[in-house]
Amino acid sequence: MADIIDLSLVTDARRYFHKLLDARGISYFLRKDGNRLFQIEQAKVELVVRTAARSRPSHLPKPPLHAVDHCRKEIRRELIRRVVEAMLQTGL
């Protein structure tokens, strides 16, 4: 059976992610007390995905678990790409 990808969930999550990114910056998504230089705070990624899932119209069913996992991975990938881009711009 093929994996289910809910494109509307991914689109909504990306939209919310970009709004948070514009409002708070990339450091909002990074753990400040971690032992690594740049460590993604998983709770912030969950916040984005959960908010996107809750903002769905009530007539649509809850997104399948595989679709939520895929959405979480997509947001993490985008965040990693942005962190690497910021590192390259600063010369780290």
pLDDT digits (tens, 9 = 90+) for 16-70: 999 999 999 998 998 877 666 678 899 999 999 999 999 988 888 888 888 899 9
pTM: 0.83
> At 58, phi and psi to the nearest 5?
-70, -20
Q: How far, in Å, CA of 83 to CA of 92, rounded?
A: 11
Query: Quick check: 4 pLDDT over 80?
Result: no
At 3 the pLDDT is 64
Give me the pLDDT at residue 1, please. 42
* The pLDDT of residue 34: 61
Structure tokens at 17: 């992610």
Report residue 36 as tokens: 């690594």
Q: Where are the domains of the chain?
A: 7-90
Tell me the C-alpha distance between 14 and 49, whole Å.
Answer: 9
Phi/psi of residue 81, nearest 5 degrees: -60, -40
